[in-house]
Amino acid sequence: MKKKNTYLFFYLNTCLFYINRRIIWLFPRLIVALTSPKALPLGNKNKKQAFFLYFPRLIVPLQRKKKNMAERKQKLLGMTITELKEVAAMLGMPAFTGGQIAQWLYNRHVTSIDEMTNISKVNRERLKEHYEIGSYKPLDAQRSIDGTVKYLFPVCGEDSEHTEELDSTRYSVGANKKFVETVYIPDGDRATLCVSCQVGCKMNCLFCQTGKQGFDGNLSVADILNQIYALPEWDKLTNIVFMGQGEPMDNLDNVLKATQILTADYGFAWSPRRITVSSVGLKGKLKRFIEESDCHVAISMHTPLPEQRAQLMPAERGMSITEIVDMLHQYDFAHQRRLTFEYIVFGGVNDSMAHARSIVNLLRGLDCRINLIRFHQIPDVPLKGASQEKMEALRDYLTHNGITTTIRASRGQDIYAACGLLSTKKKQRD
């Protein structure tokens, strides 16, 4: 019995000895874990969970793994020079590194951070930990016999999970598949790109397939610029028109920032005279765009009669065509900046001489021009295109009365070139 007690006493002492040693080992680490934010890469909010990172025998550092899985790299594409310099400073790089990144992005169109060879390898690795280029190739392309190409781009947004490489085969659009269309239109020594600014559209114009999709979100600046950046023919472009999917004034902040980068010396360095932004006319926002941008302006008119325009374009109820024209009279379009009115001609709807006379009266005294556009029928819409004779009669009357008018050539009729048709087809297929 005495021998048993001796063994028990020895066993208990040994246990207490190791427990005391463990407490002595744990205590200072506990203090650090609870009081030193610098010692914890997970930040103040996760101190309680991060405490367990100091006890590897007890808990595998899952919290750190979860954070890495949740982290999303930010896109460099779409950042201004000021923002790029802030990125450089935040990562402990010299301020001029921001200018170098801008040059690699907007002047040289690199597809990976590793290509930025005048930035040290250490800084490139540091940059890659938190950022990526943010550009993705189109998922689909349809080529017309007339040379027009319609591209279908994935929409990445600000929080999408994606990879560094500009490779559409590795891109996953996830559960909510979103696409936008971009149309490349070569014409002799000119090449125009028609870009989108939204997924779907809120305007719900009767004649537009995009409006039938409903609204599914604004494009980020990166998504807008990616349509240019990742375009196979980007180096051949001479003009850009914001006339694709969506209403530019309804995504005004991102459209303004995109055009700023397109025209800035540190950016694409395009002249604003090579860029046209179209709008149905949104009160307040159209005025702001005209005052903050030097790009050309195009207004979707489609009829000079307010009542009829409201039937074709519900946005007329928010800002009428007469209000739009009155506002435009306050600005100077007589010099390099151009003002255009877009006019889709529907057979038996807006192709009469009465409409022509109303257009002349509406636009009297305004320095502008008109583009007459052929309508190509879309599913479930009771509208048809006007005859060539009607379009020519409209053009001749308007030109004779002092409004320069042209009939826009139809392009890409064999490849779903009208806005919204290709993306609608893709959604239905998926």
Q: Tell me which residues are annotated as active site.
A: 181, 419
Q: Quick check: helix, strand or coil at residue 100? A: helix
Measured N-to-C along each axis, helices 353-362 and 388-400 cross at an angle, to the nearest 10 degrees, of 30
Q: 150 forms bridges with which residues in the sheet?
A: 142, 183
3-state secondary structure 138-169: CCEEEECCCCCEEEEEECCCCCCCCCCCCCHH
142: which 2 tokens? 């349809």
Q: What is the C-alpha separation between 141 and 299, in angstroms, rounded?
A: 29
Cα 174 off chain centre by: 18
389: which 2 tokens? 């004779």
Q: What is the C-alpha separation between 241 and 223, in angstroms, rounded?
A: 15
| Residue 122, C-beta contacts closer than 8 angstroms, at least 6 positions apart | none
Nearest Cα residue to 278 out of 251, 311, 318: 251
What are phi and psi for residue 200, nearest 5 degrees? 75, -165
Q: Torsion angle, CA of 120/122/124/126, rounded to 10 degrees?
A: -150
What are phi and psi for residue 49, nearest 5 degrees? -75, -35
Task: Report H helices in 91-242.
Answer: 96-102, 121-130, 209-212, 221-229
Task: Give yes or no for a contact between 398 and 405, defined as CB atoms under 8 angstroms apart.
Answer: yes
| Residue 61, C-beta contacts closer than 8 angstroms, at least 6 positions apart | 52, 53
Residue matched to tokens 């998926």: 430
The H or E element that residue 218 is part of is strand 215-218
Nearest Cα residue to 93 out of 134, 129, 69: 129
Task: Give yes or no for a contact between 180 and 153, defined as CB atoms under 8 angstroms apart.
Answer: yes
| Residue 316, C-beta contacts closer than 8 angstroms, at least 6 positions apart | 306, 309, 310
Task: Give yes or no for a contact between 52 and 40, defined as CB atoms under 8 angstroms apart.
Answer: no
